[in-house]
Structure 1
Amino acid sequence: MKAFIFANRQLIGFAHLVKGDIAMGGLYGQFYPNEYYKLAVQGIVRQINNALNLQSNKWSALQLHAQLENGHRLEPIGGITLDDMAELPGEIIRIDIAGVDPQIISTYFP
């Protein structure tokens, strides 16, 4: 299902999400960034991904969230990450969402 992805309330792109690890409330998919992502967010994401230790506070500071195309906003307990690495330019950017309510997954991702 298509979802719009936001950072700090600003649209940064969209993704086509599919079910992942159901027990972990996982969804994942390909992320399609917009120009705002490339200008204002990509550098931060790449810095976080290049860090040697988990930078969960930096992910939290981006306030990433997803809204399904039907208008339902996902509230993942585990958060959202983007696999965007400067060393792999042009590669597909993967989005992972963890801790989505199982009822939401079963309703919108049959």
Structure 2
Amino acid sequence: MAKAKVYSHTNLIGTAELQLGDKSMGCVYGELLPTDYYYNNIQKSVWEFWKSSNPDYKKWHSLRFNVQLDNGYFLYAAGGFTFDDAREFPNEPKKIDIAGLDEYVIKEFFLQEEPTLFVKKPWHILSIHQKIAFEDELKKGIGK
């Protein structure tokens, strides 16, 4: 298992203890322990996404989800992030599913007894604010 923080933009929306799901698909999952920010700003979008037969992926991606493991590594989910949170079952635990992780990430961070260190001294772990700022600069640089 790997402890993780879940963000929308730079806002912490929850924490989770992630475990391996489908290794061949690079999938991990875990119970999401939502923050007030999740309930006040994200939950409605999750409900809308799941109730639609034609989800608005542009809106979904605009939520800019990020998951950072305790060792500092940000997960790149080629298959995306989904949340199990049904309006009809408000007392059920929330769940996060992450798909399309690289095989190396699965091996180093989910199959080891002790996860591999990602950042070693003299380097420092990036904050979510730094990551978002770097991504924004990169987008400017490539004209997006």
> Under a length normalisation based on structure 2, what TM-score does the superposition of the two structures give?
0.73
What SS class does the counterpart of residue 17 from structure 1 fall into? Answer: strand
What SS class does the counterpart of residue 52 from structure 1 fall into? Answer: coil
Equivalents in 1 of 2:92, 2:56: separation in Å?
22
Is the deviation greater in 46-55 or in 79-88? 46-55
What SS class does the counterpart of residue 92 from structure 2 fall into? Answer: coil
Partner of 1:33: 34
Structure 1 residue 43 displacement after superposition: 0.9
Equivalents in 1 of 2:58, 2:100: separation in Å?
17
Equivalents in 2 of 1:23, 1:55: separation in Å?
28
Q: Extract unaligned runs of 5+ from structure 1.
A: none
Where in structure 2 are the equivalents of 1:29-108 lying within 5 Å?
29-108=30-109
Moved over 4 A (4+): none
Query: Per-residue displacement from partner, 1:13-33 (whole Å, max 9, x unpaired)?
Result: 111100011111100110010
Note the aligned Cα RMSD (angstroms): 1.1
Structure 1 residue 93 displacement after superposition: 0.9
Bigger-Rg structure (1/2): 2
What SS class does the counterpart of residue 70 from structure 1 fall into? Answer: coil
- Which amino acid is the alignment partner of residue 38 of structure 2? Y
Where in structure 2 are the equivalents of 1:3-42 lying within 5 Å?
3-42=4-43
Structure 1 residue 8 displacement after superposition: 1.6
Identity over aligned pairs, percent: 39
Matched residue count: 110
